[in-house]
Copies of this chain bind each other. A is one copy, B any other.
């Protein structure tokens, strides 16, 4: 594992992360938050790949209303490495734009790692080793490579990869063909996947060469690719061309249709931090439960997730709450209803409280 001068990283940073309201806002989405009081999720994402690729080869693709916060958080990135979508068109146009941009900078043999901006990784060395092996496989096979995460629970919220034949050894790892992509399973099926050991989570981390991606786009999304080629020839026409591209996900439009996809099995202690309960697992343990606070006092209380940096929080007689405090808003929510934060946002929108969205 080392800096290989042909590796570029594309960080997908257009998500809104409404489940982290009230800390997340339109202009400060999930990836721009620090959940543990330290570096933000997108800062951690960039920090994590810097041993593989210098800042000059890290590109971030995001939306206009969050680009300011992202640029501020990533001062090491050249301004031209922050690509601003004129509007969101789902992930296939986004990845495709990244592909033509990397082709312009690094040529057709450059290798691209596509990474989400808002995930957490416990063992960063392990992730880098996985990405490095995936990059070697991408160079050596010309296949599209996806990182496949070893399941740790019978999760029904993710898609899965069904493993096929061995696909060669790269940097000491045995990669596998992906036999097929599986949609989010029901609970019983997910239990079977966990027990069977033949399915991995599809986590949106991809590695491929520019030429392999270009060929896959040209074959499976030819109109989109034609639009992206026009964009490559006339970058100033972004605002006209980009909004015409088909709204379709990279998973569905490219990965699931591609003739050969291989996976590098990975167990780096990954989390997509899907909401406050998941975020709690990354907060310090405290008598309150899991908490980022100045100090906590609990009387017959506990099991809560509390995010109130620099504040004293005193809980009396309450259990299993999610409590999130900001300068202008406070959420107190039963832990088993934490996903209803989206409904709160809908109510705020309907009432015209736009500054709180």
| From B330, B334, B356, contact of A317 by CB (8 A) | B334
Q: Which residues of A contact B (CB under 8 A)?
A: 22, 294-295, 297, 299-300, 308, 310-318, 321, 323, 325, 328-334, 336-338, 340-341, 343-344, 347-348, 351, 353, 356
| From B22, B295, B308, B317, contact of A314 by CB (8 A) | B22
**With contact pairs A295-B353, A297-B347, A316-B344 given, residues A323 and B332 touching in the complex (Cβ less than 8 Å):** yes
Does A333 lie within 8 Å of B351, measured CB to CB?
no
Give A318 to B322 CA distance when docked, in angstroms. 11
**With contact pairs A317-B333, A318-B333 given, residues A312 and B22 touching in the complex (Cβ less than 8 Å):** yes
Give A294 to B331 CA distance when docked, in angstroms. 13
Does B311 lie within 8 Å of A340, measured CB to CB?
no
Closest CB-CB distance, A109 to chain B, in whole Å? 51
Closest CB-CB distance, A223 to chain B, in whole Å? 43
Give A22 to B311 CA distance when docked, in angstroms. 11
Does B332 lie within 8 Å of A332, measured CB to CB?
yes
Give A308 to B22 CA distance when docked, in angstroms. 15
**With contact pairs A318-B321, A337-B317 given, residues A312 and B297 touching in the complex (Cβ less than 8 Å):** no
A-B contact pairs, 26 of them (CB 8 A): A22-B312, A22-B314, A294-B328, A295-B353, A299-B343, A299-B344, A310-B328, A311-B329, A311-B330, A312-B348, A313-B329, A313-B330, A314-B330, A314-B331, A314-B332, A314-B333, A315-B333, A316-B331, A316-B332, A316-B341, A316-B343, A317-B336, A317-B340, A318-B333, A318-B334, A323-B332
Inter-chain contacts of A321 with B (CB < 8 A): 318, 332
Residue of B nearest to A347 (CB): B297
Most chain-B Cβ atoms within 10 A of its Cβ — which of A308, A312, A331, A344? A312
Inter-chain contacts of A299 with B (CB < 8 A): 337, 340, 343-344, 347
Closest CB-CB distance, A288 to chain B, in whole Å? 10
Closest CB-CB distance, A21 to chain B, in whole Å? 8
Closest CB-CB distance, A296 to chain B, in whole Å? 10
Give A357 to B337 CA distance when docked, in angstroms. 34
| From B22, B316, B331, B332, contact of A334 by CB (8 A) | B316
Inter-chain contacts of A22 with B (CB < 8 A): 312, 314
